[in-house]
């Protein structure tokens, strides 16, 4: 009792308890999915990225909703391995689209981001309207680059992006609708 408590002492004591509050840790954990990486960390650690091969057979038109993809089960798969919270998708014309998900960007997240950027474009505006797939360009520097410093600079710039590859015809034939119309015509004719 020789040293009386001061207001400063009690304020500091209370502050320590608030900093290590378990409630605050729980809030962070709810928005964090285990194993999901930050793309900048992958770049810093030079961790290679693999793109889901399922993106190459969607038959998806970029101005249509992701719900038009025939194989719905591929939509829930992660776009990259390791899964990332955010990734930039770049078109051949240089337009950058960002796909985000705190639980890891899925193929659906990427398709939705691309659709959002293209939904107002009509079919005749799109020279190549179908998704061919995505490419992680940092793994494949252009052949004309021969200097090691140029290649490293290119890899550094391209590490955090995927290039969107488009084509003029779908890779998967869309069977929904076409067969039903023929059957209906045949029933009407009979």
pLDDT tens profile 132-185: 999 998 888 888 988 999 989 999 899 999 999 999 888 764 444 333 333 344
- Written as one string, the DSSP assignment of 69-122 is -S-GGGGGSBSEES-BSEEEEE-TT--EEEEE-TT--BHHHHHHHHHHHHTTS-
Instruction: Return the domain boundaries, the chain.
Output: 39-174
Give pTM, 2 decimals.
Answer: 0.71
| Confidence band, pLDDT 50/70/90 cuts, at residue 113 | very high
- The 8-class DSSP code of residue 99 comes to E
- What is the token pair recorded at 154? 């290119």
What confidence tens digit (pLDDT) does each residue in 38-50 have? 999 999 999 999 9
At 4 the pLDDT is: 65
- Asked whether the predicted pLDDT for residue 9 surpasses 50, the reply is yes
């Amino acid at each position: 009792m020789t040293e009386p408590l001061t207001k400063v002492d009690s304020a500091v004591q209370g502050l320590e308890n608030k900093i290590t509050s378990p409630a605050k840790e729980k809030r962070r954990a709810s928005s964090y999915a285990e194993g999901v990486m930050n793309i900048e960390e992958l770049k810093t650690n030079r961790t290679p990225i693999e793109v889901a091969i399922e993106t190459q057979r969607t038959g998806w038109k970029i101005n249509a909703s992701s719900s038009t993809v025939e194989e719905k089960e591929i939509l829930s798969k992660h776009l990259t391995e390791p899964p990332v919270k955010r990734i930039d998708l770049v078109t051949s014309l240089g337009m950058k689209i960002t796909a985000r998900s705190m639980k890891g960007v899925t193929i659906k997240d990427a398709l939705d981001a691309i659709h959002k950027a293209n939904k107002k474009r009509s079919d005749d505006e799109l020279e190549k309207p179908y998704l061919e797939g995505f490419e992680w360009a940092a793994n494949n520097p252009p052949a004309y680059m021969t200097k090691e410093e140029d290649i490293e600079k290119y890899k550094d710039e391209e590490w955090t992006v995927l290039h969107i590859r488009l084509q003029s015809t779908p890779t998967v034939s869309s069977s929904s609708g076409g067969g039903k119309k023929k059957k209906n015509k045949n029933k009407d004719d009979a």
